[in-house]
Amino acid sequence: MSKTSTRNTVHHNGQTYTRAGRRYSHLVVVTSSHDSRPAIHWASTLELAQRNADQIAGRRDRARNGTLRGLWDTEWHAGITSIDLVQIEHD
């Protein structure tokens, strides 16, 4: 029995992101002034996408306050300009 593959597609800010395989629900797109390419995080549920976005926002805030600890890139996180949750289309 063959398993069909889902094609996940997102169009956001003039960019198209695709990923085949399992079915995802939302994409978190993070833009930083320290990188020309946005970071993307695939999420299987809206709740997971919101949790990911909240964690990224928390790291951004701690980086801007000078309290971000660990191996995170402090400058990149402090330079975050947008965190967008985008619903995924399926083919």
Measured between alpha carbons, how far is residue 22 from residues 13, 43, 48, 87, 89 in Å?
Answer: 24, 11, 15, 15, 13
Residues 6+ apart with CB under 8 A from 22: 6, 44
The pLDDT of residue 57? 98
- Beta carbons within 8 Å of 57's beta carbon, 6+ residues apart: 80, 83
4: pLDDT strictly greater than 80:
no
In 1-91, where does DSSP find H-type helix?
A: 46-65, 74-78
pLDDT band at 3 (very low <50, low <70, confident <90, very high): low
Q: Where are the domains of the chain?
A: 6-90
| pLDDT, tens only, 24-83 | 999 999 999 999 999 999 999 999 999 999 999 999 999 999 999 999 999 999 999 999
Question: What was the pLDDT predicted at 83?
Answer: 98
pTM of the model: 0.90
